[in-house]
Amino acid sequence: MPATVAAKIERPKTIGGLGLGNISWRNLALLGKWLWRYPREGSALWHQVILSIYGSHSNGWDANTVVRWSHRCPWKAIAQVFQEFSLITRYVVGNGDRIRFWEDLWRGDQPLGTQYPRLFRVVVDKNISISSVLGPSRPFLWNLNFRRNLSDSEIEDLEGLMRSLDDLYLSPSNSQVPFKVKSFVWLVAHKKVNTNDMLQVRRPYKALSPDICILCMKHGESTDHLFLHCSLTIGLWHRLFQLAKLDGFPKEHI
C-alpha cells in the first residue's frame, strides 16, 4: 500500500482520514490474535487442521512457527509475527514444563536471557524449560550447564538471578484440584471476592452491618485481611507451612 494512502487511512476522521490508526500495529494485533487463540482452542477444527499440517512446538501449545513452504499460506504470515507477539506476551508459569526459562517472558519486564545477557551467552541449552532448570519442588535444583567456568562478574549475575527467584513456587503437575477451588483461588488472587469492603464500594448507598471480619470480629473485612491477616487465618497459614516444611510466611498483600 502506498505511504500516502496509508497515511490517509490512519488519520483521524476529524481531519479527513478513516480513523483506523496505525495499520502495521493493527495487522500485527490481528495476526497475533491467532497465535493467542491457538493454545486456547485445542478442540476447534481449525486448530486440528493447523496441527495436522504444521505440527506443534515442543512446549505443546504453540504451533510450529517454522514454515518452509515456498508458496503463500495463511499460517506462514501468522508465524512470521511470533517473535513480536512473544515479546508482549506474559506467561503464567504453572508447573514450568511448557515455558522456556531464558527466552519466554514470565518474570519481570523482560525475558531472563535479556536481563542476564552474560549468563545467557555462556549457557549451553538456551531453550531449556523452567521445570528442567528448577525441578518440581523446592529447594530448586538449578540445573544450568555453562560452556565454561563462570567469571567473577558472571557468578555475581548468577547469584542475583537466584535471589530474584527466591519467592517462586511452581504448581504441581497434573493437579487434581477441583474446578470450583481453582475458580475461587482465581477470585481471591484478583480480589474479586465479595468481601465487605468490595460490597461497600459497589453499593455506597447501603451501610453494611456488621462491617467487620466475622472470624475475628476486630478488623474491617477485606480480601487481604480475610485470607492473610486475620488472627485465625494466620494460625492456619502457620500450620500449612509447617506441614509443607516451608520457611517464611505469605506476603503482606495478595
Which of 119 and 178 is assigned the larger pLDDT?
Answer: 119
Residue that is written with C-alpha cell 476486630 in the block: 218
Is the per-residue pLDDT at 115 higher than 60? yes
CA distances to 31, 128, 198 from 98, in Å: 22, 10, 36
- pLDDT, mean of residues 70-97: 74
pLDDT single digits (tens) 165-184: 988 877 665 556 676 777 78
- The 10 Å CB-count burial string (b at 16+, else e) for 89-124 is eebebebbebbbbbbbbbbeeebbbebbeebbeebe
Please provide residue 100's backbone torsions phi and psi, each rounded to the nearest 5 degrees. Answer: -75, 130
Q: Is the peptide bond before 136 cis (omega within 30 degrees of 0)?
A: no
- The 10s digit of each residue's pLDDT in 223-250 is 888 888 898 888 888 888 888 777 766 6
Q: Per-residue pLDDT tens for 31-57? A: 888 888 887 787 889 888 888 887 776
